Amino acid sequence: MFQFPARLAGAAVALTLAAATPAFAQQLELKLMAPAAPGGGWDQTARSMQQALVASGVARSVQVTNVPGAGGSVGIAQFVNGAKGDGNQMMVNGFVMVGALAMNKSPVTLEQVTPIARLTEEIQVIVVPANSPIKTAQDLAAAVKADIAKVTFAGGSAGGVDHVMAALFAGAVGADAKKINYIPFSGGGESLAAILGGKVTAGISGLSEYEGQIKSGKLRAIGVTSEKRIAGSDIPTFKEQGIDLVIANWRSVVAPPGITPEQKKTLSDAVEKMVKSDAWKEILKQKGWEDAYLGGDAFADFLKKETVRVTDVLKSVGLVKS
C-alpha cells in the first residue's frame, strides 16, 4: 500500500499521455534518462520531451528515469556502460555536465556518447542590488580591474555555468581569472538572498531566475550574455558594452555509444520532429526556454568546442588540475 502514491501518479501520467496520443503514433518506445534528481533542469527537460514526443505522435511511449549524482557523472557512467548499442535510449545533459565530468575526473567522458541534438539554452545575466554604485558592465569591469579579490560574485555550484562565466568575465576585461572571488551557493534561491541582502557585489544566474526581481526593481541587470539584444528587452548585452562575453546554459540530448547509423538517424529524426511540434513550442513558451535546436554534426562539433572551452576555464581557476 505504501507504493500506492507513486503508482497512482505513474498511472495518472500514463493515462494522460495515452489520452493525448494521436492514432498515428509510431511504435517507437523510448527510455530517457535524466542524470539528476526529479525537479532540476535536466529532469524538467526530460519530462518535457516525454510530453512532447508522445503528444506529437513521434513516440508511442517514453519512460523517464532519474539517476542523480555528481552533476551527472553517475548517470553518464551508467548510461555509457548499461545502454551501449541500445537504439531506444537517450540521455539529457547540458553545460553543467561538461564541467562536472572534468572536475570529478570521471572515467567516462562525453566523447563516448553519440551526440543527437542541442535543444534549448538559457541566457545568463549579471545583476547587482538596486542600491549598488555599479550601473553598467563597464563599472563592474573597472571594479574587477581595481581589486579583483574585493569583487564577490555569487552564483550556483562550483564549476557550473555561473562560475565559468565569472572567470570568463574577468578574463574578458583583462583581469586575472585565477583570482576571482566566486562564492558558490546551492541553487539560485540562496544566492538571490545574498545579493538582495547586499552581502556580495554581483550575482550570476540564468536570466529567467532573476527576471521577477529585475522587473520589480530590486535587482539591476547590468548585462546579458546573448549575442544580440533580446527582443523587447532593455537589458544591454555584454558585447554592446564592449566586453566579449557570450555564453549560454544549453541542454541537449545524447544517445548511447555503439549504436548503428540507422539507429542514430531514427533518434535524430524523432528529436527533430519533436522540436518542430506545436507541443514542444508550447512547452518552451511556458518554461521560458530559448529554442536552440542544433542537430547532427554541427552539434557534435559544438559539443567538442564547448568541452575544450569549459575545461580550459576550469583549469585556469584551478578547479581542474592539469
Partner 1 sequence: MIDTFAALAHGMAVAVQPMNLLYALIGVFLGTAVGVLPGIGPALTVALLLPVTYKLDPGGSLIMFAGIYYGGMYGGSTTAILINTPGESASMATALEGNKMAKAGRGGPALATSAIGSFVAGTIATIGLAFLAPWLVDFAVRFGPEDYFALMCVAFVTVSATFGDSPIRGLTSLFIGLTLGLVGIDKLTGQARLAFGVPELLDGVEVTTLAVGLFAVGEALYVASRRHHTEEKLEPVRGSLWMTKEDWKRSWKPWLRGTMFGFPIGALPAGGAEIPTFLSYSTEKRLTKHPEEFGKGAIEGVAGPEAANNASAAGTLVPLLTLGLPTSATAAMMLAGFQQYGLNPGPLLFAERPDLVWGLIASLFIANCMLLVLNLPLVGLWVRLLAIPQPWLYAGILVFATMGTIAAKPSVVELSMLAGFGVLGFLMRRFDFPIAPVVVGLILGPIAESQLRRALAISLGDPMTLLQSPISATLLGVALIALLAPFVLKGLGRFKANED
Question: Which among 102, 36, 42 has a CA at the least distance from the CA of 310?
Answer: 102
CB of 253 to partner 1, least distance (A): 17
Cell triple for 27: 511504435
Residue 4 interacts with partner 1 (CB under 8 A): yes or no: yes
Q: Which residue in the set 30, 32, 43, 116 belongs to the binding site for partner 1 (CB under 8 A)?
A: 43
Estimate to the nearest angstrom the gap between the alpha carbon of 72 and the chain centroid: 12
Residue 39 interacts with partner 1 (CB under 8 A): yes or no: yes
CA-to-CA distance for 311 and 314, rounded, in angstroms? 5
Residue 285 interacts with partner 1 (CB under 8 A): yes or no: yes
> For partner 1, what does the binding mask look like between residues 10 and 29, x meaning CB under 8 A?
x-xx--x-------------
- Within residues 167-196, the interface with partner 1 by CB under 8 A covers 181, 183-187, 189-190, 192-194, 196
Q: Which residue in the set 130, 158, 246, 300 belongs to the binding site for partner 1 (CB under 8 A)?
A: 158
Estimate to the nearest angstrom the gap between the alpha carbon of 280 and the chain centroid: 17
- 302-to-40, 82, 222, 272, 299 alpha-carbon distances in Å: 24, 26, 28, 17, 5
Q: Which residue in the set 56, 114, 205, 213 belongs to the binding site for partner 1 (CB under 8 A)?
A: 213
Cell triple for 180: 576571482
- 55-to-21, 265, 313 alpha-carbon distances in Å: 5, 21, 40
Question: Which among 243, 113, 93 has a CA at the least distance from the CA of 175?
Answer: 243
Residues interacting with partner 1, by CB under 8 A? Answer: 2-6, 8-10, 12-13, 16, 38-39, 43-44, 47-48, 50-51, 67-70, 73-74, 77, 103-104, 106, 149-150, 152, 157-159, 181, 183-187, 189-190, 192-194, 196-197, 199-200, 208, 211-213, 215-216, 218, 285-288, 319
